[in-house]
Amino acid sequence: MALRFIGIDPNTDGNNCPSVWVDESDGSIVIQGWEVTGPEDLAQVAARSPIPDNEKVVRVPRRMAKLLMEACDGAAHDL
């Protein structure tokens, strides 16, 4: 797996660094974010899509939408 860095939260202070990557081998998107641990949030997610033990729910700020779109666009071109 070769990850290509797309970008980091533009408001990062160096301690909390959500970031976006694209896997060069298959075009999948890799997201680093804050783990969602709130029971109510997890229950809402699990009600729609069960969360298996090998998955985590993460949160990234809305201000990173441009980076996510760039990753999606880059992943689509890689396929």
- Tell me: the pLDDT tens digits for 49-73? 999 999 999 999 999 999 999 998 8
Residue 76's pLDDT band, with cuts at 50, 70 and 90, is low
Whole-prediction pTM: 0.78
- pLDDT greater than 60 at residue 79: no
**What does the alpha-carbon distance between residue 28 and residue 79 come to, in Å, rounded to a whole number?**
10
Mean pLDDT rounded to a whole number for the chain: 89
Residue 14: is its pLDDT beyond 80?
A: no
Query: Two tokens at 23?
Result: 């896997």
CB 67 within 8 A of CB 7: yes
Give the C-alpha separation, 70 to 64, whole Å: 10
Bridge partner residues of 32 (DSSP): 19
Residue-wise pLDDT for 37-52, tens only, equals 999 999 999 999 999 9
What are the sequence ranges of the domains in the chain?
A: 3-78
Tokens at 52, concatenated: 């298996």
